[in-house]
Structure 1
């Protein structure tokens, strides 16, 4: 009897699974070993809009500092936000803490074992709930990320543009998800999209689904999935103030919990807007222009003008505090403020 697509993928996965620190390799998974749900949840949150290469060191650092979900739940917010700095999409870090504390307090430190139970936790959306249910608990949940969408679009030759075609992609993925080894299957499809069915120059010649792929037969595979035309991102402007005290301390701001980069450390300054920024120095001083830093967020481009002043003194504004240069760690700042700090320090 011919093998089903899921059987072909699982056979391929047994030989070609990526070695990832949060993953249980297929030979152990088939023997009944399940990965730590905490590790799967943590990795999936980190991997949202972020590459595996970027996530690896952060995953290692988090699991070294907070080996169990209860350890993370007990951590100081500032420590977790600092450890997350540079990974981007900082709402994920705030939701990470909320979820860890609910799991610790309301579930005795154990993640629910069903997709529905996981989806009820704060900060866990449909994708993450399905991924943790499938991978950590071997539940038959339909896991659809960007890699899976690409595989589905090509295998089924789905030519309608994103995002409208997403429901059909998920329906196709559901139809291919097996009852046997659903966790390994979910990881197999993601690995196939990441290593073979890549966005550019897919390696169709070594794909285990090559013979049945409608997109390959039609010659449309490299062009799928079809993406809607991108809308130009607006440009916002802001000012970052680098204030240095007579003792060489630097003034930092803890940003409000809500909003972009919420709860993170940064240089003080007015809100970013599409018009010219209105100067609002945090302290009196002989302020001068130092540099312009450019950074791109998901929905807009930012031009941040860095101004510096030395010999600043006085009571810091609410939310700000002085940090000695010896204790200042640029790694604890989001990337945009790390750029601004480095540019300002270079101009002193």
Structure 2
């Protein structure tokens, strides 16, 4: 591993910023160096929105959502006043729905405080859904204040630069320390965007473009001849596989959907009722006992879905609602409106699997 003291920090800063000035991505929420130099400033609301969306997805996937949200809720006050179900429905497809609930909570907190996002790290960290990375990204990108932004792309760059021999999970403090020492205090906003671009477009997980990298002159992994060996991978842990039975109740061209509890996985989203999700398979008798209606159920498709920490297999059963039956919770939704509802990907699969 290359010691931090051996890194040519000033040269790293200058070479990265020179590369970014020429090669940095044009992103809708970003202020390019020439615009920043001309006095243009970023919209903290837009920066915050983009950072929350990008936490668990890619720029190409998040960008249409970003424009949709800004068009529908152009200010933090607009988002704060929005109906939660409408926001969750607009978020559907971005996953990790706790982020959407925190998005609403954060917008309401900022709106209540006057609609101005704070600049201080401690004040940003006090807002719902904003952790160390997001606070640093907002400080740097929105306010051009000194901050060391460390996301997955930056972690990969630093581990290769210094050939850190431990997996990222155990070496995060060391990575953050190195990244903070290199971070440029003179152009913090541009530097933060530059190092993230470097990881996203050049120092990629597979087939990194070492020939086009502004840090190749100092990269220990390139000197070793196998940069793809970093970050060192932690031993894989087998994901649990769970089973469930889903119950789709139809009334003509409508389906009954209810809202999940606000806390927990897929919290606050609409769902097709189901049994408990468990590692044991469900017997016919036990599944029937968990059904919301004592009717004749028809077995339909078996759907599969992969979450971060486990995979799920759900056998879909369907039934027509008895005449006069009304649920105690939830409501009826037209099948043609399914794409506009706050339905997570799993539940969209469930509806389609029950048709």
TM-score bin (small chain): over 0.9
**1:250 corresponds to which residue?**
255
- Normalising by structure 1, we get a TM-score of 0.94
Pairs aligned (count): 343
User: CA separation in 1, counterparts of 2:297 and 2:66?
Assistant: 40
Within the candidate set 92, 97, 110, 1:103 is matched to: 110
**2:294 corresponds to which residue?**
284
Aligned 8 A contact 1:45 1:128 in 2:
yes
Question: 1:178 Cα shift?
Answer: 1.1
The 5-angstrom pairing of residues 211-222 of structure 1 reads 211-222=217-228
Question: 1:230 Cα shift?
Answer: 1.4
User: CA separation in 1, counterparts of 2:150 and 2:333?
Assistant: 44
Query: What SS is found at the alignment partner of 2:266?
Result: coil
The 5-angstrom pairing of residues 124-143 of structure 1 reads 124-143=130-149
Within the candidate set 284, 297, 304, 2:314 is matched to: 304
2:182 aligned with 1:183, yes or no?
no
Question: 1:311 Cα shift?
Answer: 4.3
The 5-angstrom pairing of residues 146-225 of structure 1 reads 146-225=152-231
Question: 1:3 Cα shift?
Answer: 5.6
Name which of structure 1's ranges 309-318 and 230-239 shifts more when overlaid on structure 2: 309-318
User: CA separation in 2, counterparts of 1:233 and 1:60?
Assistant: 35
2:40 aligned with 1:27, yes or no?
no
Name which of structure 1's ranges 141-150 and 323-332 shifts more when overlaid on structure 2: 323-332
Question: 1:313 Cα shift?
Answer: 4.3
**2:66 corresponds to which residue?**
59
**2:5 corresponds to which residue?**
none
Aligned 8 A contact 1:243 1:308 in 2:
yes
CA distance 1:211–1:242, change in 2 (3 Å)? same
Question: 1:287 Cα shift?
Answer: 0.6
2:100 aligned with 1:93, yes or no?
yes
**1:81 corresponds to which residue?**
88
Query: What SS is found at the alignment partner of 2:169?
Result: coil
User: CA separation in 2, counterparts of 1:289 and 1:233?
Assistant: 27
Q: Deviations over 1:143-184 (max 9, x none)?
A: 100000011011112122221111111111001011111111
User: CA separation in 2, counterparts of 1:298 and 1:317?
Assistant: 32
**1:275 corresponds to which residue?**
280
Name which of structure 1's ranges 195-204 and 155-164 shifts more when overlaid on structure 2: 155-164
Aligned 8 A contact 2:155 2:168 in 1:
no
Aligned 8 A contact 2:260 2:268 in 1:
yes
2:334 aligned with 1:324, yes or no?
yes
Which runs of 5 or more structure 1 residues have no equivalent in the other structure? none
Question: 1:113 Cα shift?
Answer: 1.1
Aligned 8 A contact 1:283 1:314 in 2:
no
Q: Deviations over 1:208-253 (max 9, x none)?
A: 11111122112242210102111000011112211112x4321111
Query: What SS is found at the alignment partner of 2:277?
Result: coil
CA distance 1:272–1:69, change in 2 (3 Å)? same
CA RMSD of aligned residues (A): 1.7
Question: 1:193 Cα shift?
Answer: 0.4
Which runs of 5 or more structure 2 residues have no equivalent in the other structure? 1-7
Query: What SS is found at the alignment partner of 1:236?
Result: strand
User: CA separation in 2, counterparts of 1:319 and 1:231?
Assistant: 39
Name which of structure 1's ranges 249-258 and 309-318 shifts more when overlaid on structure 2: 309-318
